[in-house]
Amino acid sequence: STSDLSFNVRRRYSLSFIDSDRMQGLLIIAFLCSAAYGDKPPTPQWPSAATFEFRIISHTDGEYESIVKTYYSATKKAIRFDTWGGMNQIFVHTDRKEGYYYFPKVSEGKSQVVCAPFNYTGVGLLPFPNLNYYKFVGNDSLDGIPSTKWVANVMAEESTLWIAQTSEGPFLSAVDFKLYDTSLHGDNLVVGVADHSEIRYYNFIPGEPEAKVWNRPPIDCNFPFGVELQEIVKYEFLEAKYLILETVAEEGAPLQTREEIYEINRKLVESHNRGPSGYKLQLNQFAHLTADEMKSFKGLRLSTVEGSKPHTHVDDDEVEELAKHLPDSWDWRDHGAVTRVKNQRMCGSCWAFSAIGCLEGAHFLKTGELVEFPEQLLMDCSWDAGNGGCLGGDMSNALNWIKEVGGVTTSIQYGRYYSENGRCHFDKKNLISPIKNVTKVAPSVNALKVALVNNGPLSVGIATPQDISWYKNGVYKPLQWGMIDHGVVLVGYGVLDGEKYWLVKNSWGEDWGLEGYILISAEGNTLNILDSAYYVTMK
């Protein structure tokens, strides 16, 4: 059955890393034998100020990488991150609990840089791992560089550090982070890797950064944002999982350790699974996140302006007649209209993935070719339509924007997905897949089925209760839910063990749910799935 699909399918990728001549020049012969320090060397003391770069590559999401330059000063209680050569810039001042996020956007067809302010209520600023969690396990060599090796096992996490000694103090060379998931298959406990990331550090310059580094761009910082920008900055840069920082702070709440958050979530999962529910949960890559942090993996902001046509089958009797001739089950994957599961990561870009999934299916129906289109293009370029990149958006706005500009480019032509706001750069000569109409589906089960079978995968919005983050299998039918806040792609429907369901493609990677999919109950209007559904017809 569908619920038996393996959650523990993993992918592996070969990696190549950046070496630094400066790093090699700073290295001295150290830690060559443990006798110099006894069995264990002194615990390294991180510098109080430094400039360095790091590169993150995900083993479980082979497309993702990020290159970040970091400026850090404990004296100034400040830190700055520049991603991808300064495409995005983040300034944080913990003494003032202030943060500033500079990023590119398009306004009236022209590219500009804007700034969004945010409050930073985190508890720490040190951009290095907390070594209180780590044990020295021996001397090692990484890329020919003598290093000490340190390992931490906290909750379901395993983190390995390689620390090189330079003439000016210790330098973090690399971090290898794994987050495990566990599940019971009969009487057997199966352990899989839910997340595996590797970070390489280079261009290390100890000491205070130049004073001009802290001069922010001369731009008014008043851009509003939708999703929790503070959570993105805290989690992705300052309190990242691979650093195993010990505490997180929620506004107006006591400090919680990551272990405490994991334990709270573990108890919720285990309590649910002991009950009679028809769906099961599983600790996964989101097991150590708070509910507020999970908001940053969503990002749907429904537009108050209706720019789509009403459903063409406005007559209920006509819909019911058409529904009589529908098959008992449908899955657009079986017909070749669905691309692979993608991963938005910690960016409120679900709306772009939902819109693109719908367009990819419609393009297949029109041409017979399954082509991947770039979510990043919508994030970078559709600001004038009311969208906001990683700060949230609306799939109907995105689809109507595509209609207005005349199509999209392919993913290969546009370039990689950054999981952050980028610069708009498409060439109109390369646009394909023009849209004729964007149509909103009438809010009924049969109208949704008729639209789905006749027009391809639908772009839909759903509400996301907390436990959907840990969905494993079965027909998801929670007792309650809130407002629509997440964009997904509806690709089919069917029946499992007597329960009718919608087959939905998510954008949280293949390691979530049923290899990236979820079965949502088709009884009533579960998760408000009937309320915001769209399809497109092509020119």
Say whether 361 sits in a helix, a strand or coil: helix
With CA atoms as reference, report the closest residue to 374 among 347, 353, 346, 351.
353
Task: Out of 59, 288, 363, 486, pick the active-site residue.
Answer: 486
Question: Do 99 and 223 contact (CB within 8 A), yes or no?
Answer: no
> What are the two backbone dihedrals, phi and then psi, of residue 98, each rounded to the nearest 5 degrees?
-115, 145
Q: Note if 486 is an active site residue.
A: yes
Question: Do 301 and 226 contact (CB within 8 A), yes or no?
Answer: yes
- Residues comprising the chain, all counted: 539
List own/partner pairs for 259-268 with CB under 8 A and 24 or more apart. Answer: 259/154, 259/155, 261/288, 261/289, 261/290, 262/155, 262/156, 262/287, 262/288, 263/155, 265/289, 265/470, 268/466, 268/467, 268/470
Task: Out of 288, 347, 350, 390, pick the active-site residue.
Answer: 350
- Taking the C-alpha atoms of residue 158 and residue 515, their distance in angstroms, rounded to an integer, is 23
Question: Do 207 and 50 contact (CB within 8 A), yes or no?
Answer: yes
> What are the two backbone dihedrals, phi and then psi, of residue 279, each rounded to the nearest 5 degrees?
-125, 155
Q: Give residue 32's Cα distance to chain centre.
A: 40
Q: Note if 350 is an active site residue.
A: yes
DSSP character for 198? E
Question: Do 199 and 242 contact (CB within 8 A), yes or no?
Answer: yes
With CA atoms as reference, report the closest residue to 47 among 165, 135, 140.
165
84: left (phi over 0), alpha (psi -120 to 50) or beta: left
Q: CA 133, 137, 142 angle in degrees (round to 5)?
A: 105
Question: Do 359 and 83 contact (CB within 8 A), yes or no?
Answer: no
Three-state secondary structure along 457-478? Answer: CEEEEEECCHHHHHEEEEEECC
Contacts of 452 (CB under 8 A, 6+ apart): 330, 332, 458, 490, 491, 492, 493, 535
- Taking the C-alpha atoms of residue 74 and residue 47, their distance in angstroms, rounded to an integer, is 9
Do strands 330-331 and 471-476 pair parallel, antiparallel, or not at all (unpaired)? unpaired
- Taking the C-alpha atoms of residue 91 and residue 78, their distance in angstroms, rounded to an integer, is 7
Q: Which residues pair with residue 53 across a beta bridge?
A: 69, 202
> What are the two backbone dihedrals, phi and then psi, of residue 461, each rounded to the nearest 5 degrees?
-110, 145
- Taking the C-alpha atoms of residue 469 and residue 298, their distance in angstroms, rounded to an integer, is 11
- Taking the C-alpha atoms of residue 95 and residue 80, their distance in angstroms, rounded to an integer, is 14
Q: Note if 33 is an active site residue.
A: no
The residues that are catalytic are: 350, 486, 506
